[in-house]
Amino acid sequence: MRNGQKITFPGEADEAPDTVTGDIVFVLQQKEHPKFKRRDEDLFVEHSLSLTEALCGFKFVLTHLDGRQLLIRSNPGEVIKPDSYKAINDEGMPMYQRPFMKGKLYIHFSVEFPESLGSDQVKALEAVLPPKPTSQLTDMELDECEETTLHDVNMEEEMRRRQQAQQEAYDEDDDMHGGHQRVQCAQQ
């Protein structure tokens, strides 16, 4: 009793017959964040690097969810490959039932390549990069090869076009054979 009132807990009988006792249920909805994605106690963030940064090193500041500024940098001489991940321990979300332990912060790196290079840039790169592999074909064998031309392609568009062509061929085949027919194997 506190101040003359009885404290009741969920599941206990109440002295007043017209009051309803029950549990309190909280429903939490996770809101999408524009920069961070959450997977359990881990956080994921995307970051884009220039080719120069990926090859020669980078340094950038990441503002965390709680407003802290994290300095993110590569190690000297470290090359960051396109579509690679790096992790920072204890910078994720608090772990379930262990609020003082945190998950990891994963950074997914994409690398922006230049659209093209000038001949001077190519020569400068060839001077500092490892040499290109030498062709194992002789000049006579190369003369017998047919020359080809590469062109840009949008794979999503190509797959859609191919799928549509297959569907049209399937529909055309049905029209030629009078609709769907059942095919059974003869038993011997």
* Residue 41 forms part of a structural domain: yes
* Residue 51 forms part of a structural domain: yes
User: How many whole angstroms separate alpha carbon 156 and alpha carbon 160?
Assistant: 6
CB 93 within 8 A of CB 66: no
Bridge pairing between strands 42-50 and 36-39: antiparallel
User: How many whole angstroms separate alpha carbon 71 and alpha carbon 147?
Assistant: 49
pLDDT value of residue 188: 57
Percent of the chain whose pLDDT exceeds 90: 49
DSSP structural state of residue 18: T
pTM for the whole structure: 0.63
Q: State the residue range of the domain holding 106.
A: 36-112
Give the H/E segment covering residue 49: strand 42-50
In terms of Cα–Cα distance, which of 184, 179, 55 is closest to 112?
55
pLDDT value of residue 2: 44
pLDDT confidence of 179, banded at 50, 70, 90? low
* Residue 149 forms part of a structural domain: no
pLDDT value of residue 60: 96
Residue 81 belongs to a domain with what CATH number?
Answer: 2.60.260.20
* Residue 154 forms part of a structural domain: no
Alpha-helical runs (H) found in the chain: 51-56, 119-128, 139-143, 155-176
In terms of Cα–Cα distance, which of 57, 60, 58 is closest to 77?
57
Locate tokens 């490959």: which residue? 81
* Residue 91 forms part of a structural domain: yes
Number of domains in the chain: 1
In tens, the pLDDT along 127-161 reads 988 898 887 888 888 888 888 887 888 899 999 99
* Residue 13 forms part of a structural domain: no
* Residue 97 forms part of a structural domain: yes
* Residue 92 forms part of a structural domain: yes
User: How many whole angstroms separate alpha carbon 184 and alpha carbon 171?
Assistant: 21
